[in-house]
């Protein structure tokens, strides 16, 4: 009987010691970076009134023959889906709210359009349009077989009319 009390007491002591030492650990490098970047008083990456990412989900294309569309990320002002073909991600689809940022400025003076909206090529692997002077719809190639023409075709698969009424 005394042995079991001794085991319980020593277990409690060790558990308490571990808890105390865990609480006294120095912040990780990630905690430190978070604190440093928060202290800068930098403007937020998206406006406070940016559309919630979940509101964008209904405007994304659905899976079609040979391609599976899978939700990937969602946060205020942004939603992203993967385009998988044969189990491999070949492209990413994204909608983001440009309010409060200068992201929409790249569309000024654009001579290219897709589905009637101003379009830009961003490097070799991204095509984007601006809907309602606010929402950027972007398709990014993740595989060399997914071309600029494929990106334009996938942009047209979005419910752009619905998005423009958001």
pLDDT bucket at 30, cuts 50 / 70 / 90: very low
Taking only the tens place, the pLDDT of each residue in 40-88 is 554 555 677 789 999 999 999 999 999 999 999 999 999 999 999 999 9
DSSP per-residue letters across 103-130? GGGGGTT--EEETTEEEEEETTTEEEEE
Is residue 82 a contact partner of residue 89, using CB atoms and an 8 Å limit?
yes
Is residue 67 a contact partner of residue 81, using CB atoms and an 8 Å limit?
no
Q: Answer yes or no: is pLDDT of 8 > 90.
A: no
pLDDT of residue 49: 74
Q: Answer yes or no: is pLDDT of 1 > 60.
A: no
Backbone φ and ψ of 45, nearest 5°: -70, -25
**CA-CA distance, 32 to 17, in Å (whole number)?**
25
Taking only the tens place, the pLDDT of each residue in 77-108 is 999 999 999 999 999 999 999 998 888 999 99
**CA-CA distance, 79 to 163, in Å (whole number)?**
13
146 or 25, higher pLDDT: 146
Q: Answer yes or no: is pLDDT of 138 > 90.
A: yes
pLDDT of residue 37: 45
């Amino acid at each position: 009987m005394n042995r079991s009390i001794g085991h319980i007491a020593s277990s409690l002591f060790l558990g308490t010691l571990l808890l105390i030492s865990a609480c006294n650990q120095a912040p990780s490098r990630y905690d430190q970076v978070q604190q440093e970047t928060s202290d800068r008083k930098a403007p937020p990456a998206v406006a406070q009134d940016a559309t919630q990412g979940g509101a964008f989900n209904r405007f994304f294309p659905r899976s079609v023959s040979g391609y599976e569309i899978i939700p990937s990320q969602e946060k205020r002002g942004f939603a992203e889906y993967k385009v998988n073909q044969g189990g491999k991600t070949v492209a990413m689809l994204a909608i983001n709210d440009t309010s409060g940022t200068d992201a929409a400025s790249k569309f000024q003076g654009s001579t290219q359009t897709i589905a009637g909206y101003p379009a830009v090529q961003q490097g070799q692997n991204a095509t984007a349009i601006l809907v309602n002077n606010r929402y950027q719809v972007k398709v990014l190639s993740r595989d060399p077989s997914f071309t600029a023409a494929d990106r334009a075709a996938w942009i047209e698969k979005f419910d752009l009319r619905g998005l423009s009424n958001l």
